[in-house]
Chains A and B, each alone.
Chain A
Amino acid sequence: MIQATELTKRYGTRLAVDHADFTVAPGKVTGFLGPNGAGKSTTMRMILGLDRPTSGSVTINGVPYHRLAAPLREVGALLDAKAVHGGRSAYNHLLVLAKANGLPRSRVDAVIDLVGLHSVAGKRSGGFSLGMGQRLGIAAALLGDPGIVMFDEPVNGLDPEGILWIRNLMKALAAEGRTVFVSSHLMSEMALTADHLVVIGLGRILADEPMAEFIAKNSVSYVRVRSPQPAELAPKLALRGWRVERQPDESLHVYDTQPAQIGDVAGAEGLWLHELTLVQSSLEEAFMRLTAGSVEYHAGQSDDQGSPDGPAVAGWGTPLESQAPQAPQVEERIQ
C-alpha cells in the first residue's frame, strides 16, 4: 500500500506536485496517468525517497521509503531502463543488487528466468536493445520479491509479445495480492491493464477512482441500435423522450437511456434488432476530456496557421499546417 498525504514538491516558484492525496491499494493494478510535466515522475521519485517532499508525506506500508529496513524486499521499481552500468553483464548487475540487499543468488536466477533474459544473462548490458534493457529493469524490480511494484512506462521498447507479457505479468502480480503502480502514456494499453486510476495534472490529483467509474464519469455514452426496420423503430424510441440520431449507415444512436430499455421497446413492438450496443468513450477520450483544462500547453488552433503565406517562395505552400493538426507545444524546460 502506498499512501500520499498532502504531498507537495516545489522547485523554485514552480509547484511540481501540489498537495496530492491518493492511495494505491494492494490486489489491483493502479494506473498513474498525466500529461508530460504533470508531476508523475516527481511523485514516483518522492515515493522512492529519491526526492524529498517540500511538505506532506508519502509512505510505503505506513513508513517513508528511507526508513524501510530492506527496501528492495518491500518495493521494486522500474524507473529508467538505462540506469545500468553498460559494462556489466545482466547477471552480475542483478547479483550486485542482490548482495547489497542480502538476497540469495537463487533469486537472481529466478528473476532472469521470469523475464526471459536467460540466453543473454552473461552478456554485457551495454549492447542491450531498449526492450532487453526494459526486461533487465523489470528483473531488478522483482529481485526482492516485493509486495509493491512500481513501473514507469514499462512497455517502452517492447515488442507485441513483450507488451502482452508484461500486461499479464502486472495482472498476475496484482492477483497475488501485490500493489502494482504503473505509469504510462499509452491510454489504449492502460485501458486493458489498470483496474484503478490516479490521474494527475499540473501537480494536482484530478481523479482517483476505478477505471469503469472514471470512463463513465468522463464520457458521453449512447446506444448503437441496428435494425432492419429503423423507420419504425426510431419514432417509437423518440416517443419515450430519448434523443435518437439516425446515422448515414441506417444505424441509430440513442442517448439518455440503456440498451435494456430499448430492447424492451423493440420486443414489445415486435421489431427486429441486429445490434444493441452500449458505446462508451475510450479511456483516451475520457482522459483528454478530463485533462483538457489542466495541460500547461494547449494544442495550437490549426485554423490560425492556415493563412496563406506571402509569395516569398513560389509554390512553397502550407499544406501541412492548413490540414494537419498541430502538436501541443513543449514547455520550455529541459532537464
Chain B
Amino acid sequence: MAARDSVMTPIATRDAGTGHAHFGRLLLAEWTKIRSVRSTYWSLIALIIAFLFFSWLFPYLTVVNWKQASPEQQANLYLDPIGSITGSGLFIGQLAVAVLGVMVTASEYSTGMIRSTLLASPHRVRMLAAKSIVFTLLILVIGEVIAFLGFFIGRQTFKSLVSVDLNSGNVREVFGVGLYLAMLGLFALVVGALLRHVAGAITGIVALLLVISNLIQLIPGRIGKYLYTYEPTNAGFVITAKRLPDNFLISSWQGYGVFALWTAVLWALAAYLLVRRDA
C-alpha cells in the first residue's frame, strides 16, 4: 500500500537485527519492574533485617540463659547449631519472601499493569519465564548472602559455648537457606499468577506455611506421613535442616526436589492458564 510505504518509521530499519536478544530484553525489563517499586525494597529490607537480627538474637538468648536451659535444650544446640542460628530468622524471613513473590505477579492484576505488560510481550509464557528467572535469582543471591552473614553472626555469638565450623557435612544447611527462600519465592510468584489476587494469594501462602504444613502432622498413620512429607513447603524446608523430622519419609535433597517439582507443575499450570485466560 502506497500510503504505508511512505511512512519512514524506525520499525522497518531496526526490525532485521532484533532476533535473539529478545529474551534478554524481557529479563532486563522485568528487572526494571522489580527494582522500580518500593514494595520490593520494603520486603527485602524486612527479610534481611529480620533474618540477621534473629541470627544474632536466638544464639544470644541461648548464651544468656544457658544455665537455666534444660539438658535437652543444651543437647539440641550441640546436635544442630546451624539450625539454632538460622531457624527462627528463616521462619520470619520466609513470610517476607512469600509476600514479595505474590506481589510480583498478583499486583500486576490488581493495578491493571498486566495490560501494559501483555501488550509489550504478547508471548505470555516468555514473559512469565523472564519474571520467574529474575525474581528467583534475586532472592537466591540475597538469600545466600544473608545465610552466610547470619551464620557468621550466630557463630560469633555462640563462640563461648560451642564452635561451629563449616565443613562439607553442614555447608548444605547454610546454602539451603538461600535455596529454600529462592524456591519459595518462585512458588509464591506462581501462586500469585494463578490466583491473580494479592490478598487471596498472600492468605493462601501464609496459611500453607504457618498452618497447613503443621496441621497435617496430626493426621494419623502413613497417610499423614505422606501428606506431611510431600506438602511443598515442608518438603523444601528440610534442605536447611541437619536432621529430618521424625515423620519425614525422604532425604533433604529429595525433599527439595519435591518442592521443586511442585513449583514446576504449578508453573506449567500458571503458564497454560496465562495463555488461555483473558487478561
Contact = CB atoms under 8 A, between A and B. Distances in A.
Assess A/B contact in the complex (Cβ within 8 A).
yes
Interface of A: 314-317, 319
B2 interface: no
B8 interface: yes
B8 A319 contact: yes
Interface string B1-16: 0000001111001100
A314 B13 CA distance: 8
13 contacts: A314-B13, A314-B14, A315-B10, A315-B13, A315-B14, A316-B10, A316-B14, A317-B8, A317-B9, A317-B10, A319-B7, A319-B8, A319-B9
A75 B195 CA distance: 46
The interface size bin for chain B is: under 10
A316 B10 CA distance: 5
Contacts of A315: 10, 13-14
A315 B13 CA distance: 6
Nearest to A315: B13
Contacts of A316: 10, 14
Contacts of B9: 317, 319
Interface string B68-88: 000000000000000000000
Given A315-B13, A317-B8, 11 more contacts: A314-B13, A314-B14, A315-B10, A315-B14, A316-B10, A316-B14, A317-B9, A317-B10, A319-B7, A319-B8, A319-B9
Interface string B112-140: 00000000000000000000000000000
A315 B11 CA distance: 8
Question: 3 tightest CB-CB pairs across the interface, nearest first?
Answer: A315-B13, A316-B10, A315-B10
Nearest to B7: A319
Interface in B206-258: none
A314 B17 CA distance: 12
Contacts of B10: 315-317
Contacts of A319: 7-9
Contacts of A317: 8-10
A317 B9 CA distance: 7
Interface in B1-57: 7-10, 13-14
B7 to A, nearest CB: 8
- Counting chain B CB atoms within 10 Å of each CB, the highest count among A314, A315, A317, A319 belongs to A315
A319 B9 CA distance: 7
B60 to A, nearest CB: 46
B211 to A, nearest CB: 28
Contacts of B7: 319
B257 to A, nearest CB: 45
A208 B14 CA distance: 55
A168 B7 CA distance: 45
B93 to A, nearest CB: 35
A319 B7 CA distance: 9
A14 to B, nearest CB: 29
A81 B109 CA distance: 23
A315 B12 CA distance: 9
A291 to B, nearest CB: 33
A319 B8 CA distance: 8
